[in-house]
A and B are shown apart, each in its own frame.
Chain A
Amino acid sequence: MVLALVRRRPKQLAIAALIVVLAIVPFLGNAYYTSVLIIIGINAMVAVGLCLLMGYTGQVSLGHAAFYGLGAYISAVLSRTYHVNPWLAMLAAVVATTAFAFAVGFPIFRLRGNYLAMATLGLGIILWILFREVDSITGGPSGLSGVPYLSIAGFNFSSDFRFYYLVWGFCIAIMVISESIVASRMGRAMRAVHGSESAAQSLGVNAAVVKVKVLALSAAYAAVAGSLFTYYLTFVSPQPFDFLFSVQLVVMAVVGGLASIWGAVFGAGAIRVLSEVLHPFGELDVVVFGLLLMVVMILTPQGLVRGIADLWHRFVSVRLAPTR
């Protein structure tokens, strides 16, 4: 019975299972787990956007931390320095970051392959330097503290317990929206551009516009995540938005199998857990991420999630073969 359900509706079941597990975790009373899962949820939003761009549309970005950081800084500066309502500041951050992605997208996507990788890398580094150097606005390397909490009608998202549900609410919304887009006319155009740009164009798909739109969407996701991150910490500094984080995001998407939204969320979780485990060893985590990236690309180019899913499918179909 249960296995039959698993076979027929794996996705719906997975969503339900995820929601149930996520809903329960904070009640376990382990503050550490809750805080790690908050960060995972925030990273997952960025990873899902990168997965749409890299996995579905086939365009690499080595600078996605820039959009994440831009969202965080705009929210922090507006709400802290200019006393704008934090939700409005977040909305402004998302709009501005999306507009920024549109603006850089058209020139950047004139490039392909390695050149595109270099340009996005450069973008990430430039913004990171701006975050550090424009002291008067960003507070420089030491950042800005005293960013306000988010609140709704007097209800403050000031505890981890509350913030946890806020973050995962956003994250699941982003996942559901992304799944719908991928299955839609737009999603087909994205995958077509990935498959063969020339064929897609011959059918009326304007590849440049598709790429820029996906970049803008992923930038919007990153800005939501960055804003939530800064309201969670009530603090912002350049360090979380450095090149290493851009690379980590790519590793998350790759571990998740690139063209899988679920995979990206799983990847975000796996990488975060791994870096928590490696924390005592300091800089060693960089080496491990590099190795992980290589191993996954070589052994299961479709990602760990797909690899595990294949095993699972084999198991289920063997077990249920007679009922078919």
Chain B
Amino acid sequence: MDDILRIEGLTKAFGGVVAVRELDLDIQECQVTAIIGPNGAGKTTLFNLIAGVFPPTRGRIIFQGRDLKGMPDYRRAGMGIGRTFQDVRLFGNMSVLENVMVGLHLKGKSGMLDAAFHWPGARREEENVRLTAINTLNLVGLGRKADMKAGELTFGQQKLVAVARAVAPQPRLIMLDEPAAGSNALERMEISDLVKRIVEMKITVLLVEHDMRFVMGTAQRVVVLDGGVRIADGTPGQVQSDKRVIAAYLGEPEARA
């Protein structure tokens, strides 16, 4: 299988704290790769580097054969890199549907003047975007909440809207930062199913998750970070029995649920 993403010698230092250190990583297309590791291991920082939130201190990120150096985050979205945030970040004052429609921003072209003068093309585009957004909401099982304010949903539902918002434009790669955190066992199973359906849409998934059972049931490959360094990499089974992993992560006084 092809590598959709290649990371070479990636390093990010925040002042004295080195969050990611000399990381080499290849991500294969159309599979689920889980990034796990204890708190502060650098998982979210890795996502932020790939998404272009801030530049790396050193190293390269190559996406579909193209070096992303210097490319701002909103342009990386256009390249097909989508993400969710650990702290959700929905647009709380907008409806659930509108949140997903913002996800389709780059699928539309109409600007201020089109809207001001009601160009017919803009209206057609708007209808298409609305339909795609509704379909995506149905995919995550929230079609009936479309008109609710996003801020009024439960935390679990908000996380699903965030996934829908990122999936809607059909990115090539989607990064989910703790999609199941704060969800109950039933919801976690639903989210795991959802992740599998996303991969079936030919979208490569990178996900961070602390819940081991979720990771083992969802990912084909598990990469373990500790102190910004990769300490293990393999199938869920291999990683689970790795001594260093058990020491660094699973062996933590009762790994977080």
Which A residues are within 8 Å of any B CB, using their own CB? 177, 180-181, 183-189, 191-192, 194-196, 198-207, 213, 217, 259
In the complex, which residues of chain A have a beta carbon less than 8 angstroms from the beta carbon of B115? 180-181, 183-187
In the complex, which residues of chain A have a beta carbon less than 8 angstroms from the beta carbon of B166? 202-203
CA distance A184 to B114 in the complex (A): 9
Contact indicator A206/B102 (Cβ below 8 Å): no
Contact indicator A188/B112 (Cβ below 8 Å): no
CA distance A191 to B95 in the complex (A): 11
In the complex, which residues of chain B have a beta carbon less than 8 angstroms from the beta carbon of A187? 115
Contact indicator A201/B73 (Cβ below 8 Å): yes
Contact indicator A177/B116 (Cβ below 8 Å): yes
Q: Which of B72, B73, B102 is the one whose CB lies under 8 Å from A192? A: B102
The distance from the CB of B149 to the nearest CB of chain A, in whole angstroms, is 11
Stretch at the interface among B15-23, B30-38, B84-92, B243-251: B84-92
The distance from the CB of A163 to the nearest CB of chain B, in whole angstroms, is 25
The interface residues of chain B, by DSSP majority, are classed as helix
Contact indicator A192/B94 (Cβ below 8 Å): yes
Contact indicator B89/A198 (Cβ below 8 Å): yes
- Known A184-B110, A191-B93, A192-B91; contact A206-B116, beta-carbon cutoff 8 A: no
In the complex, which residues of chain B have a beta carbon less than 8 angstroms from the beta carbon of A185? 101, 105, 108, 110-111, 115, 122, 125-126, 129
Contact indicator B101/A188 (Cβ below 8 Å): yes
CA distance A202 to B98 in the complex (A): 16
Contact indicator A217/B85 (Cβ below 8 Å): no
Q: Which of B77, B105, B116, B125 is the one whose CB lies under 8 Å from A188? A: B105
- Known A180-B118, A186-B110; contact A203-B102, beta-carbon cutoff 8 A: yes
Find the residue from B51, B75, B115 having the highest chain A CB count within 10 A.
B115
Q: Which of A183, A195, A202 is the one whose CB lies under 8 Å from B73? A: A202
Contact indicator B93/A201 (Cβ below 8 Å): no
The distance from the CB of A132 to the nearest CB of chain B, in whole angstroms, is 34
CA distance A184 to B101 in the complex (A): 10
Say yes or no: is B201 at the interface (Cβ < 8 Å to chain A).
Answer: no
Say yes or no: is B172 at the interface (Cβ < 8 Å to chain A).
Answer: no
Contact indicator A191/B94 (Cβ below 8 Å): yes
Find the residue from B94, B105, B129 having the highest chain A CB count within 10 A.
B105
The distance from the CB of A213 to the nearest CB of chain B, in whole angstroms, is 6
The distance from the CB of B168 to the nearest CB of chain A, in whole angstroms, is 9
Contact indicator B91/A196 (Cβ below 8 Å): yes
Q: Which of A194, A195, A199 is the one whose CB lies under 8 Å from B85? A: A199
In the complex, which residues of chain B have a beta carbon less than 8 angstroms from the beta carbon of A186? 110-112, 115
